[in-house]
A and B are shown apart, each in its own frame.
Chain A
């Protein structure tokens, strides 16, 4: 940072509004894809656990190991295989969502009261109807809690994907660091936090909307 320069140069921000919007869009897209794919994969893993409960240990172990790999190390490992691509970014982002979401989906399904399950089966629900009409709706608060944690973490993590040229708000942070220029760095960091808070609030509202019985 050049001495005497203000911490935030507003004129830079106003002249780069289009740029800011584009990076914000990229960030949302990267996060959205990661959460979407991660959720579907977690759902499949949770279904495996529902059918074969002994799989719970191995699945949490594997997703737990994935969760602990440092993102930079993972990208470094993937680049020779998948290159500086969106695929590389998403493989990393998705793998970090699996542990949290799988665990919450399993916990949510397991928390469905036994008497509810018994009366549903006793009245003639098929296994699939039981899952989609009874267990999933009742597990929704716990599942959405997992989605919220995974989403806020992923929004933070997505800033790292700028390192492999995938844009997003991390682009500004990277630019700020490389050019010793505080304004884009602060813009990137601030918007990333604001985005996390906004999306989290939206998910809370959504949960209240779809679980009227829990009020």
Chain B
């Protein structure tokens, strides 16, 4: 039962209307040069991503995550191994046709400075030869979808927008032809933290709404945990250290490397992933005068409240403000144990390959 609950992040996308495709990397490597000076960019990576999943590739710089992403739309060709999209070996497909079916967003956005925002967003539909009326309607729709006012920005040039607005246009442009797969390379890396948080939330909403498969590169573990339904942790030398849902990555890192990478505060991060609605609460309200929290809050909020108010328990209330139970330090500890117990070591995972460990 707990297992079911804690895998909620995975089912978040699996429950979507079919909007995504599966992606599978099979023993993919990329080596540069040969002989003694050969440099290994990506080392024998196997990774399976289910349709509609949001897979975040995370790791230190130079660990091969961007190279891995660029091999999926064939901007880089692998030295060995195969990549399948929706079961098709992409090396057998025309690279240009393939790219037009995949959304691509990069950190610097790469908007075309000589085209208006509307023209930029219309890029792929134009390449695909849509008629102008259909393109015009789609551009309006997309700009609204990413939270921009089409009437205001349509005729502007990229230099006339803020960094956050440009990034939104970049996402709209990538979404234009309803790609079943989006590749995003640190798309929110160049904006300030407040705007980044907002863009992340909006993109999560878009993902839930559209259900496409996403591969997302970042070096920020917090961003990975917040966005991903699965997280692939890369290590130096282009190796895949672990591929698992975020809650599982935090609860049972596959190696010391992964444990260090997710951080010594990984327990706190795990708490943030568990909603009060999902834990077994103590029956009845907390003691007289106990602080209250909404059931939509998470365990980290609960811990924070317990520590700051020095109370023994927090009363949890429903949307109507009526107490539905209480949570104490002991219950938080139990909730964490439940999760750990539901994932025995080396279990044959059902959410895709757990990746190699080092």
Contact = CB atoms under 8 A, between A and B. Distances in A.
B97 A116 contact: no
A124 B110 contact: no
A189 B123 CA distance: 51
A138 B114 contact: yes
Nearest to B113: A213
A139 to B, nearest CB: 10
B138 interface: no
Contact of B100 (A117, A124, A138): A124
Interface SS majority for chain A: helix
Kindly state the interface size class of chain A when it binds its partner.
20 to 34
Contact of A124 (B96, B109, B157): B96
A47 B276 CA distance: 63
Nearest to B103: A123
Contacts, number: 67
A117 B173 CA distance: 15
B127 A119 contact: no
B75 A121 contact: yes
A140 B158 CA distance: 18
B106 A124 contact: no
A64 interface: no
Contacts of A116: 110-113
Nearest to A121: B75
A80 interface: no
A40 to B, nearest CB: 23
Interface residues of B, number: 28
Interface in A95-136: 113, 115-126, 129, 134
B240 interface: no
B104 A122 contact: yes
B159 interface: yes
Given A118-B75, A118-B106, A213-B159, A123 B112 contact: no
Interface string A182-215: 0000000000000000000000000000011110
A137 to B, nearest CB: 5
A137 B127 contact: no
A215 to B, nearest CB: 9
B99 interface: yes
A211 B113 CA distance: 10
B110 A118 contact: yes
B76 to A, nearest CB: 11
Given A118-B75, A213-B157, A213-B159, A123 B114 contact: no
Nearest to B75: A122
Interface string B158-185: 1100000000001001100000000100
Contacts of B73: 122
A134 to B, nearest CB: 6
A165 to B, nearest CB: 45
Nearest to B104: A122
Contacts of B97: 124
Interface of B: 73, 75, 96-100, 104, 106-115, 123-124, 127, 157-159, 170, 173-174, 183
11 contacts: A115-B110, A117-B110, A120-B112, A122-B73, A122-B75, A123-B99, A124-B98, A124-B99, A124-B100, A124-B127, A212-B157
Q: Which 5 A-B pairs have the closest CB atoms?
A: A119-B110, A124-B100, A115-B108, A122-B104, A124-B99
